[in-house]
Structures are given as structure tokens and as C-alpha cells.
Amino acid sequence: MVPLEISDRDQAAFELGIKLGALFHQFVGTPISLRSKESLERAMEGAIENQPYVEEAEVRIDEAPLRAAAGREFDYISLEGRMIGARVTVSYRGIRCVGRLSYNADLDFPLMTLERMEEV
């Protein structure tokens, strides 16, 4: 085993991961409908933008399952990870990282990906 000295770049990637994990696990399960979609998106963005080193958080919830629910007796559903499309940008000591949470159809899985890194 070769120990590695933890760099700002490591730290930046780590911080980005925290934000995506938080976003998913805080809000999955929330009752959501077409009526409340926008207020939840804004609250999710605002919550994550509070966290250290976050430049920007964008959240879009998939409307298709909300539309499908709209005609039913109970016209709302619980937020699932696969319905969340999010992009979070973190900037830590000159390293900017962009990550994404989005549904991956091949894996049938809500995937978190480290999409882009750059020195600023």
C-alpha cells in the first residue's frame, strides 16, 4: 500500500460526492405532484446550495410520473431517485467539479456521476 497525500483535487471530488448523496437521501420519499414540483425543486436547490463549497445546484424532477398520477384517486406520489435530474457544481480551492444525478436506463438505476473537473 502506497499512502497518497490528500490534495485539493481529492477534496473537491469528495465534497461533490457529499452533496449528491445528501440530495438523494434527504428528499427521496417526499410527497410530490404537478402542483408541488416547482417548490420542491427550489427547496432542493436551496438546501444543497447551503452546503460548503457549492457554486450551484440545479434540480429538475421528471414530470412524466407526476402526470400519470394526476388522474388517480391519490394524485401524488413519493419522490424516487430515478425521478431526480440534478447537476451540482462545487468549487474547492481552485478546483471546480460538476456532478450529476440522473436515471440510467441501461442499469435501471439513479446514477451519480463525476462529470467534469477543471482548474479555475
In the complex, the residues that contact a second copy under the rule CB under 8 A are: 1-4, 6, 9-11, 13-33, 35-36, 39-40, 42-52, 72-76, 78, 80-81, 95-97, 99, 107-110, 112, 114, 116-120
Pick 105 or 119: Cβ nearer a second copy: 119
Measure the CA dihedral 64/43/14/25, to 10°: -60
Pick 35 or 67: Cβ nearer a second copy: 35
Pick 44 or 102: Cβ nearer a second copy: 44
- For residue 79, which amino acid is it? L
- For residue 24, which amino acid is it? F
Shortest Cβ 103–a second copy spacing (Å):
12
Cell 460538476 -> residue: 98
Long-range CB pairs of 72-77, under 8 A, 24+ apart, other chains included? 75/33, 76/31, 76/32, 76/33, 76/36, 77/31, 77/32, 77/33
Shortest Cβ 113–a second copy spacing (Å):
9
Pick 3 or 64: Cβ nearer a second copy: 3
